[in-house]
């Protein structure tokens, strides 16, 4: 009798997975069709004529190599700065005692109540005043506000037994050495998970890069693929080919680091919950 509920749950999971995966499958299949076949009425699960012309067109007639470079550089910068600053901040709040410590942590917690979209106008004005419009710095700086990473680090640093800290202090270690040689190495798994999910989030960011990067040379790949549509009109295969190429690095990263990504999502969900 217990098998029936298990079979039903499995069936529901398969159906849900199929519903989720079908649009992705349809997008990839569409990129492998000639345009005249894409716009034909009816549903064809496989192309009648297989072609990679859409990919060739996007690679040859857009600045996608530059967009990839911009995305990689800005996402890497965001990841390094967010993880580095958050680790230092989490360590300070967890292990140090200084005036305003509770207020600082309260502000970090309260920042969850302010959606980043509400700060878009302020960010744009500041970046314009700093002369960072259409630059990597303008794309990177407003994306450094990621309070969940600070909170995750603080919670994990809180769990490290005080004996480790006391033993290191007896040996003459300073705070920086404690952080770099004791606390951070004991949480490399958390650091790796947070770095991966931060990189993926920065790579997939669209709204802010769309506003701050308006020139072809400054666009990230998520913004650049929109220009494929603007330049070539309604060419579904080409548009979707651009989208697939934009998502490909993130998909590969997720497949390679699936366990770490899942761990980071669970950490973030646990904090937000």
Q: What is the rounded distance in angstroms from the CA atom of residue 243 to the CA atom of residue 228?
A: 10
Distance CA 31, CA 238 (A): 7
H helix count then E strand count, the chain: 15, 0
Task: Note the pTM of the prediction, 2 decimals.
Answer: 0.83
CA gap 239, 31 in Å, rounded: 8
Q: What is the mean pLDDT of the chain?
A: 84
Residue 86 pLDDT: 92
Q: For residue 132, what pLDDT band results from cuts at 50, 70 and 90? A: very high
Of the candidates 136, 158, 18, the one whose C-alpha atom is nearest the C-alpha of residue 77 is 136
pLDDT of 261 reads 67
Instruction: Give domain limits for the chain.
Output: 56-272
- Specify the residue for token string 């600053």: 85
Per-residue confidence band for 272, with pLDDT thresholds at 50, 70 and 90: very low
Fold of 56-272: MetI-like fold (1.10.3720)
Where is mean pLDDT largest: 38-47, 72-81, 198-207, 246-255?
A: 72-81
Confidence class for position 1, pLDDT limits 50, 70, 90: low
Quote the pLDDT of residue 273. Answer: 44
pLDDT in tens, 148-206: 889 889 888 888 887 777 787 777 777 888 888 888 888 787 888 888 889 988 998 99
Quote the percentage of the chain above a pLDDT of 70: 92
């Amino acid at each position: 009798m217990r098998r029936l509920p298990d079979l039903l749950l499995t069936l529901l999971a398969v159906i849900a997975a199929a519903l989720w995966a079908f649009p992705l499958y349809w997008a990839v299949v569409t990129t492998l069709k000639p345009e005249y076949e894409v716009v034909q009425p009816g549903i064809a699960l496989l192309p009648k004529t297989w072609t990679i012309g859409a990919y060739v067109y996007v690679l040859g007639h857009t600045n996608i190599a530059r967009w990839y470079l911009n995305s990689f550089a800005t996402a890497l910068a965001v990841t390094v700065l967010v993880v580095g600053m958050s680790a230092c901040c989490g360590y300070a709040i967890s292990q140090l005692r200084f005036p305003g410590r509770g207020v600082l942590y309260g502000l970090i917690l309260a920042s969850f109540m302010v959606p980043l979209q509400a700060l878009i106008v302020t960010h744009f004005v500041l970046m314009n005043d700093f002369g960072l419009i259409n630059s990597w710095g303008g794309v990177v700086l407003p994306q450094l506000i990621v309070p969940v990473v600070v909170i995750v680090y603080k919670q994990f640093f809180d769990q490290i037994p005080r004996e480790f800290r006391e033993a290191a202090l007896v040996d003459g270690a300073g705070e920086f050495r404690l952080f770099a040689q004791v606390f951070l190495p004991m949480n490399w798994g958390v650091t790796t998970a947070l770095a991966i999910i931060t990189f993926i989030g920065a790579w997939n960011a669209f709204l802010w890069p769309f506003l701050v990067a308006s020139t072809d040379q400054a666009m990230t790949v998520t913004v650049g693929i929109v220009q494929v549509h603007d330049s070539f009109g309604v060419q579904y295969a080409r548009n979707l080919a651009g989208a697939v190429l934009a998502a490909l690095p993130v998909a590969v990263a997720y497949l390679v680091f699936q366990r770490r990504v899942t761990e980071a999502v669970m950490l973030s969900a646990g904090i937000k919950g």
